Amino acid sequence: MSTMTTFDYGVAAMLAHSEAMGAISQNIANMRTAGYKRADVQFASMIANPLPGDHVAGSVVAQTKRLVDMAGTFERTGRALDLALDGPGMFVYSTTPAAGGELFYSRNGALGSTALDAATANGVSYLSAYDDLYLMAWPIDATGKVSGTGASDLTAIPQSLAEGFTGRATSSASLTATIPASGTATASFELFRYDDAGLERRIFSDWTNTAPNTWTASFRDGAGAPVGGTTTVTFDGAGSLLSPSTLDVGGLFSLDVSKVRQLGVVPAKTAFAQDGLGSGDFLNWDIAPGGVVSAVFGSGAVTPLYQLPVALFSNMNGLAAESRGLFAVTSQSGAPSFEAAGKTAAIVSGSQELSNVSLEDSFSQMIVTQRAYASAAQIVQTADEMSKTVRDLR
C-alpha cells in the first residue's frame, strides 16, 4: 500500500462521515415534523480483490436508509381532524380526487390543509394533510357496506357536504308513564314524531278509564284531529299492564307501552323515546378508531360515509422518501396491500405523529461523527507529511 493510496482512504472516510453528519443534521431539523422518518447512515467497507496472502487496506462508503417502520411520538392536539396511526401502515394520498391518480403514502394525518379540485365547477375542497394531494378512502353505501377493497375503489373525502340530512321518519317509540288508579278518569301525554321530511310533529296520547283496570288509548295530532282508532288496554290489580304492550299510532309508528303503570292519583310521563331524526345541516366529520368516517348533522344524525384504508408493504424501509414526509413505492418495498384501518392500525383522533427522531441519540451520533471526521482528516494530514518527507529525500 503506497502513501498516495492513504490519501484516498482518508478522503473517503471524510466523505462518508460528512454524509453521516448531513443525515444527523436533517434528523434534528425535522424532529417535530409530522410523519418524518429518521435517516440512519450505515458504513460499509470497500476492499479490492486481493491476491492470496496479500494485505489490501480498505476504504469506507456511507449508505443512508430510512427507518420508515419505526413509529414516531404522538402529540395530543385536540383537533378532531388530526389523525395518527397506532400500528403498522400508512395513509393513502392521491394526485386526483378519484381513482387513477398517482398514489403516495405517509404517516402524516394532520388534516389541516385543503386539497382543492380546481377542475370542478365550484372548486370542491377535500380533506388532506397536503394542499395538492387528496386523502383517499373507500365509500360506504346506504346499507353500511364498504364499497371496494382496492386502489381502484378509492375516492377523496370532501371537506364538507353541501346537502344536509333529509331526516328519518319515526317508526317506533316507547312511553314510560303512570296513569291514575283513582281520582281521575283521564290522562293525556304530549309526544312527538318526525315525518318523512324530517319535521317534528306533535302528537297526544289520550287515556280514558272505562272500567276497573280497563282504559282506552287513542291519539290526536297537534291540531286535535284523531290519529288512528281506539285501543282497549287492561291492567292487573297491582298496576302492571296486561295487554296489549304495543299500540299502533295510526299506521305512522308503533308505540311500546309495556312500561305504562296504573298507580296513584296523578298522571305523569316519565320518559319518551323514538327512533326518528330531524333534518339538519352538515356540521363536521367524526372519525372512529376503526377508520369509519361519519358525517355529523345538526339534528344529531350520524351517518357513516367512508372507510379509511391503510397501506401495508412487505418492506416499508424500502419505500422511496419524497419531500414533506411522503413515500413512494419502489421495487424494494413491494406493491402495497390495503386493509381497513382498525384491523392493523387504529385511528387516534385528535393527535398527530411527529418524527421518530431521538434528540439524545442524534447528539451522541453527532459527537462520534465529528471525532471520526477529525480522525479521517488527520489521516490525510499525516499522509501529506509523509509525502513531503519522501519528496525531500536527497
7, 17: one domain: yes
Domain annotation covers residue 283: no
187, 248: one domain: yes
Domain annotation covers residue 267: yes
Q: What are the backbone dihedrals phi and psi of residue 227, each rounded to the nearest 5 degrees, phi first?
A: -120, 105
Q: Three-state DSSP class for 374?
A: helix
187, 265: one domain: yes
Which helix or strand (DSSP H or E) is residue 11 part of? helix 3-29
Locus of grid cell 382543492? 116
Domain annotation covers residue 369: yes
Domain span at residue 58 reads 3-71+355-391
The amino acid present at 17, given as its one-letter code, is H
346, 363: one domain: no
Confidence of residue 117 (pLDDT cuts 50, 70, 90): confident
Domain annotation covers residue 127: yes
Into how many domains does the chain fold?
Answer: 3
Q: Which residue has the higher pLDDT, 3 or 163?
A: 163
Confidence of residue 91 (pLDDT cuts 50, 70, 90): very high
pLDDT in tens, 65-78: 888 899 999 999 99
Q: Confirm if 155 and 124 have CB atoms less than 8 A apart.
A: no
Confidence of residue 326 (pLDDT cuts 50, 70, 90): very high
pLDDT in tens, 343-365: 889 999 999 999 889 898 889 98
Q: What are the backbone dihedrals phi and psi of residue 5, each rounded to the nearest 5 degrees, phi first?
A: -65, -30
Residues 6 or more apart from 285 whose CB is under 8 A from it? 80, 81, 127, 157, 293, 294, 295, 296
- The Cα-based distances of 284 to 80, 131, 273 in angstroms read 9, 20, 25
172-179: strand order across its sheet: 246-249, 253-262, 172-179, 268-274
Domain annotation covers residue 111: yes
Q: Evaluate the CA torsion angle 119, 123, 126, 131 in order and state its sign.
A: positive
89, 148: one domain: yes
CA–CA gap between residue 334 and residue 318 (Å, rounded): 8
CA–CA gap between residue 359 and residue 258 (Å, rounded): 65
197, 263: one domain: yes
Locus of grid cell 424501509? 317
62, 80: one domain: no
Confidence of residue 228 (pLDDT cuts 50, 70, 90): very high
CATH value at residue 248: 2.60.98.20
234, 256: one domain: yes
Confidence of residue 285 (pLDDT cuts 50, 70, 90): very high
From the CA atom positions of the chain, what is the Rg in Å?
A: 36
Domain annotation covers residue 312: yes
Domain annotation covers residue 379: yes
Q: What is the mean pLDDT of the chain?
A: 90
- The Cα-based distances of 323 to 105, 130, 293, 332 in angstroms read 11, 11, 28, 19
Highest-confidence segment of 4-8, 35-39, 89-93 = 89-93
85, 177: one domain: no
pTM: 0.74
Locus of grid cell 314524531? 193
Residues 6 or more apart from 125 whose CB is under 8 A from it? 114, 115, 116, 117, 158, 159, 160
176, 270: one domain: yes
CA–CA gap between residue 71 and residue 275 (Å, rounded): 43
Residues 6 or more apart from 98 whose CB is under 8 A from it? 155, 156
370, 382: one domain: yes
Q: Which residue has the higher pLDDT, 364 or 391?
A: 364
Domain annotation covers residue 290: no
Which helix or strand (DSSP H or E) is residue 35 part of? none
Asked if pLDDT for residue 273 goes beyond 90, the answer is: yes
Asked if pLDDT for residue 317 goes beyond 70, the answer is: yes
Confidence of residue 148 (pLDDT cuts 50, 70, 90): confident
Asked if pLDDT for residue 372 goes beyond 90, the answer is: no
125, 84: one domain: yes
